[in-house]
Amino acid sequence: MRVFRSAQSEVVSRALGIKYNIMDKYIYFSDNQFLHSLNAKRLGLDHKLYTIDNLEQLKNTVTERSYLYLFSDFLLLDNAITSSKQIATDESVEVFVVANSHNDDSVRQAVKSLLNIDIDVAYGVVYIKINLSRIGNFDGSNKHNYSLKTLSGGCLQLDDHQVPRAALSTKAKTLGFFEHLIEAEIDSGVVISYQDWQDNRQSCVDRVLNQNWYRVITRSSSLNEDSFSSSNAGAFESVANIIGEDSDSIGEAIDSVFASYSNVASKDEVLLQRQITNVAVSGVCTTRVIGKGSPYYVICYDDLSGRTDSITAGDTNHVKTLMVYRNADLTELNIDDDIKKLLGHVNEIETITASVALDIEFIIDTNGSIHIVQIRPLVGDYDTIDDDAIDHHIKSSQRLFSQFSVPDDGITTGNKNIFGVMPDANPAELIGIKPRPLAFSLYQRLITDEIVTEQRSEYGYRDVRPLHHMLKFGGTPFINVRSSFNSFTPASLNDNLANKLINLYIDRLMALPKLHDKVEFDVVATTWFPGVGTWFDEIYADKLNSNEIKQTIDSLKQVCLAAIANVNTYINCVDDYVGKFDRVVQSDLSNINKGIMLIDICRSHGCKPFAHLARSGFIAISILKGFVNCNVMTKQQYDNYLLNIDSVSSNMGRDAYDVANGKLSKQAFYDRYGHLRPGTYDICSEAYFDNPEKYLDPIIKASKVSEKSDEVLDVATIANIDAFFHEENINLNFSYFDAFARKAIHGREEAKFKYTKFMSHGLLFLRKWAESLELTADDISYLLITDILDIASGNMPDNREQVLQMICYRKDIYRLESKIELPDLIKSDDDFLFFHKKEGAPNFISSKSVQAEIVLVQPAETNDADYFRGKVVLIDSADPGYDWLFGFSISGLITKYGGANSHMAIRCAELGIPAAIGVGDIIYNKLAGSNEVTLDCNNGIINTTVRLKK
């Protein structure tokens, strides 16, 4: 614990009415060392530990005017002296007492043992001060050889564990308690009780006027806020920017704050303080992650606006969020010195409060002084978090990161490696930031372990097999970026140029981590598209020479043309395996084996054709966007072109309309679309067939005649496209490209629609198997797919007790890893210890704007069409399982995760719905607490109202 410097101690002591001496440093501790250390700080003393047994050592260090302090088990709160009684002329011993029935005999006995003086007082002894330079002159002849000083009564008799309760009370009392106990600036201000205010208003105002403050802020300090059971944060009024000499305004502000208390009590208070006007940084630091208890300091701050309330008011976009792991060594962290200093003060406060979870409001002024303006406990159960176990998992993740970030992995080119949640394969979008073990292992088995890299190798990119494309750090799926960028580099490029490109790509992403979910448009060129030469010139011209750029573009043309030539082959592969579905479902296999069989057919036959078509669809969209950027077609023509392409969703809309008009049976509609689910790989996610009344009936009810655009590109635009292909020496024309684009964009959605049928029913059969063991879908969501494979193959008994044991083991791991916070991009070991949360750079879809109420969709949300109609919908991921939303006439869509080429981006473009895809954590959380949003896609603007949801 830090101690006051001499100059500061002198000021403190004078304020307390106690004579200070620079040699006051020796403190005798009895049993309660923690309380005594607090009392020492309250008095501005340096302290050392001495006991009766080592007092001889103490005597050897005595210099003139040295003092020994002997503390009783009291905690000093307000130690101003109210009376002083001189018992004898020799004041070498001073006894500080308080009117308290407690009579601590241990201090008296210590004095008698040391000095042979028998102190006899009727009050509770708080502490005794002895002039050690007189230690040889005490002979016990005068047992009244002391002066008696009575304190004002502000002392508490406490055990260590009671200190947090004493320290953390009302806003005013809490600040008063910590004032002078830590090195930060704390202003206890002027505290006015409601009773005092009722008795003598003018006297209360005069107390404020006498402070001669330039500006005054009036803050609530109700008995009903900042408690351990309820914070009522923001519930009561605060009034800022009051002129310090304006008595009327001060009185009105006090009235306003008291009026905001629902049932004001006589002991309720208002706190008035000098308002800090030279604000450099203001913010809030919590000592745990709110609601989760994760062991991180979370510092939300504003270093731009100069306001003191911008973070607490929640009405600014100037929010930065720094996460610092509690177990990190602050001295080793590369963070701002002021933030380190702040965290040092937070540590001091935590020491005093026994590490109770806290919410601390702070201001850093332009002189670098740190002001603590509020300290309150976080409400909730934060005492059950196993920090040591979490620390073990973090260290394990750091070791795993080190193993895969070596300069040379033997397979890929590139001299460094980083990991991200969204640069490729979109795990954060499709399985979430903290997926259950089954969802993670399914995605790994079906997509990232082999399919992605095998598909790209066949497509014409570099072969990176058998590298793991996705790893898990601290429970979060991360993509191996070096592996990803290699698998996006044409195989025809020579190794030297490939190595140079991949290093450039990684350097750019490290410099601009906000691009982690849009690397294929802003970091890596994975295909030829109109304007690709300009793209290279703008981003890498100073890093690549003209010959290197030409070689790269030529290799990208090869990939692009091969994709266009092979699109029919990929589509035929989709049709080849769909007949296996009925044969497996109707077989005599057990439920567990039916489930595994369907999932493995999906893996071996369905996922790769989908991956081929997804890549082809991306190439088609890239070329179309390139035409827009090169002014070959307009943005409106681009939108209309996509609207004109048939899709699974447009087919679904037509089928729904046929059901509503009696042309198709409802059961046939259920059978055709029932396998869709919001979480494709999540066994806990409800499929449409689980609750067709909730998911499918509203789509039927809201169906209408298809509004597909009949508008096609005009003759002049088509001629311009043909001319562009010719000028770029691309052996294409519009007719050939048009056929490819329609097949690829539609084929991608169709391929996923068909393979997810196998996946969804596979999960259904696994759920039925779980029911036979009296387990739930939630239970087996904690198993890995390899656990289930072991059971199905006989490597592990199909025994409820053993399966439960495995579930409990994996659930414990998941529970711990869910507490680990990580950035979107991991570049070094330090990112496991601290990071700034990044603002998302949204992908805006369409050129439209909308202002409407915003609704957050949860898995159990009602599906009443009226609930969604005309509103902007907020969802976590851009997963295709949320297609049902489009049956409710929504006005707009916003997702936390997802790229410009994600499913929901394509769907919104097809339907002409304004959307912001992949806004990121900070914007998403702000939107989730808002009532209304303005989404202006053309100008790239997302604005919310200040008014927050109740």
Which residues are catalytic, by number? 903
Q: Which residues pair with 71 in a beta bridge?
A: 127
Spatial CA neighbour of 912 closest among 891, 927, 897: 891
- Quote the CA–CA distance of 459 and 570 in Å, as a whole number: 11
3-class DSSP state for residue 669? Answer: helix
- Quote the CA–CA distance of 467 and 58 in Å, as a whole number: 67
- Quote the CA–CA distance of 763 and 679 in Å, as a whole number: 11
- Quote the CA–CA distance of 219 and 174 in Å, as a whole number: 13
Spell out the SS3 assignment of 507-542: HHHHHCHHHCCCHHHHCCCCCCCCCHHHHHHHHHCC
Taking the mean position of all CA atoms in its chain, how far away is CA 60? 56
Question: What are the C-alpha distances in Å from 34 to residues 43, 174, 775?
Answer: 15, 18, 50
Confirm if 310 and 318 have CB atoms less than 8 A apart.
yes
- Quote the CA–CA distance of 13 and 44 in Å, as a whole number: 7
- Quote the CA–CA distance of 283 and 316 in Å, as a whole number: 12
Taking the mean position of all CA atoms in its chain, how far away is CA 212? 42
For the chain, helix (H) and strand (E) counts, in that order, are 36, 30
- Quote the CA–CA distance of 41 and 4 in Å, as a whole number: 7
Spatial CA neighbour of 669 closest among 687, 689, 686: 689
Those residues with Cβ within 8 angstroms of residue 37's Cβ, 6 or more apart along the chain or in another chain: 1, 29, 47
Using the CB atoms, write b or e for 858-867: b if 16+ within 10 Å: eeeeebebee
- Quote the CA–CA distance of 235 and 253 in Å, as a whole number: 16
- For residues 46, 52, 56, 62, the Cα torsion angle rounded to the nearest 10 degrees is 30
The structure tokens listed for 502 are 């991949």
DSSP designation for 605: I
Confirm if 863 and 695 have CB atoms less than 8 A apart.
yes
The structure tokens listed for 680 are 């494709």
Question: What are the C-alpha distances in Å from 339 to residues 342, 369, 790?
Answer: 5, 11, 50
